[in-house]
């Protein structure tokens, strides 16, 4: 089966993560994505593992390649009027245009959706910003750390009681927003095909964060109270908690229906006497005596390693997981077997692994097979396809 977006051309004017990640997903779906960068290349392209403290001589930026795989590259200086005209001609031949330029810059360069849709009525335009189109902060610079993580309440909520707020990991909110943009664009494509009219899809890191944190936000909207933080020393449900094991590692229990799993857990860990202890006879009692039960579990779990506990907990049919490091997760046999990691080919770095698309479609091969093109390496080909004469190409190059 052909890739779902085979034959669809996308022009991307974006940097860093959120919109480029959306462009990579469109390329994974088969679209021809033309990435427009500044002449020196965006800063994300130039990162190397060594710059982040890894003892590694890999010559490319692995996160950039993940978020730009399958794209063709052209560099244009949009402060140059001729380059802006060239970009508009590229957009004329596309079905989708995506950007994370701030709205004022879009207007400055003639890339706002009103101008583009007037010129190209069937175009689909997608944008991601920190705070959304039309709000007081629409032109406010933002990263997902600020708009998605801190401002939504996520940074305050996602920490144990008594622990200071911590930074999120890089691009967590950006990748969530990227999926939202792709979802919106595919829906807009359906509308465009039904009505013949182009559409604008607006995604913000702020709105994405509210949706991701939706359970707590929904409760706050009704109660007008802050979310209750987890306290692993005294949780509401000790069967939904983390525990240290031998070897300075951790495991996570997630038995949200505690009474159902209580006898099974006690038998599995060799503590059947807890099951008949009046202090812990039901979920309410275990809640009232949570601190004491956590202390009992900690003594027991500390006696074995993760490798020793895994077959025991699995055999009992319990809902749990090892608290893996990232380098362990990528070697997980199930992750490998399901194809969640893929190989791509780079012109100079050769073959290496990256993260596969976050979904599968039965019968369709998804996932771009090659890395992002070297900066500006596809410029002549792209411009010829757009109908530029050789003299124009040479001038732009």
Asked if 65 and 367 touch (Cβ cutoff 8 Å), the reply is no
Tell me how far apart the alpha carbons of residues 118 and 121 are, in angstroms, rounded to a whole number. Answer: 6
Q: What 3-state DSSP class applies to 10? A: strand
Stretch(es) of the chain classified as CATH 3.30.1540.10: 240-323
State residue 249's pLDDT score: 98
Stretch(es) of the chain classified as CATH 3.40.50.10540: 9-214+332-396
For domain 9-214+332-396, give the fold. Answer: Rossmann fold (3.40.50)
Tell me how far apart the alpha carbons of residues 143 and 140 are, in angstroms, rounded to a whole number. Answer: 10
Both tokens of 123, joined, read 């175009």
Over residues 325-371, the pLDDT tens digits come to 999 999 999 999 999 999 999 999 999 999 999 999 999 989 999 99
Q: Distances from the Cα of 41 to the Cαs of 38, 105, 193, in angstroms?
A: 5, 18, 35
Pairing between β-strand 240-245 and β-strand 249-254 as defined by DSSP bridges:
antiparallel
Over residues 262-273, the pLDDT tens digits come to 999 999 999 999
Positions of the chain with pLDDT under 70 = none
Tell me how far apart the alpha carbons of residues 377 and 347 are, in angstroms, rounded to a whole number. Answer: 10
Asked if 164 and 229 touch (Cβ cutoff 8 Å), the reply is no
pTM equals 0.96
Q: What is the rounded end-to-end Cα distance, in angstroms, of the chain?
A: 37
Where does 240-323 sit in CATH, by number? Answer: 3.30.1540.10
Residue 159 CA from chain centroid, whole number: 20
Q: What is the DSSP letter of 305?
A: B
State residue 29's pLDDT score: 97
């Amino acid at each position: 089966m052909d890739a779902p977006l085979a034959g669809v051309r996308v022009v991307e004017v974006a940097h860093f993560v959120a919109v480029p990640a959306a462009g990579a997903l469109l390329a994974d779906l088969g679209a021809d994505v033309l990435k427009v960068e500044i002449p020196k290349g965006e800063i994300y392209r130039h990162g190397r593992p060594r710059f982040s403290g890894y003892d590694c001589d890999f010559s490319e930026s692995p996160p950039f390649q993940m978020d730009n795989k399958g794209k063709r590259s052209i560099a244009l200086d949009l402060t140059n009027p001729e380059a802006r005209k060239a970009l508009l001609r590229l957009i004329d031949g596309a079905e989708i245009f995506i950007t994370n330029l701030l709205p004022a810059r879009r207007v400055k360069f003639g890339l706002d959706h009103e101008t583009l849709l007037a010129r190209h009525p069937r175009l689909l335009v997608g944008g991601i910003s920190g705070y959304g189109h039309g709000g007081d902060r629409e032109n406010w610079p933002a990263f997902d750390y600020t708009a998605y993580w801190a401002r939504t309440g996520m940074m305050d909520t996602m920490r144990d009681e008594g622990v200071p707020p911590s930074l999120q990991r890089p691009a967590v909110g950006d990748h969530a927003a990227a999926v939202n943009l792709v979802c919106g664009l595919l829906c807009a494509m359906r509308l465009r095909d039904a009505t013949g009219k182009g559409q604008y899809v607006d995604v913000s890191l702020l709105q994405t964060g509210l949706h991701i944190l939706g359970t707590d936000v929904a409760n706050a909207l009704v109660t007008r109270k802050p979310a209750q933080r987890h306290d692993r020393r005294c949780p509401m449900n000790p069967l939904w908690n983390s525990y240290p094991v031998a070897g300075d590692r951790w495991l996570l229990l997630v038995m949200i229906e505690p009474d159902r799993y209580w006898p099974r857990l006690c038998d599995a860990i060799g503590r059947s006497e807890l099951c008949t202890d009046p202090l812990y006879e039901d979920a309410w009692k275990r809640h009232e005596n949570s601190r004491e039960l956590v202390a009992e579990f900690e003594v027991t779990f500390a006696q074995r390693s993760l490798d020793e506990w895994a077959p025991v907990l699995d055999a009992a049919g319990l809902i749990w997981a090892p608290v893996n490091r990232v380098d362990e997760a990528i070697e997980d046999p199930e992750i490998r077997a399901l194809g969640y990691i893929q190989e791509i080919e780079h012109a100079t770095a050769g073959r290496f692994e990256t993260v596969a698309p976050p979904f599968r479609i039965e019968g369709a091969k998804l996932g771009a097979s090659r890395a992002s093109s070297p900066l500006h390496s596809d410029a002549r080909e792209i411009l010829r396809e757009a109908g530029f004469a050789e003299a124009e190409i040479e001038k732009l190059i």
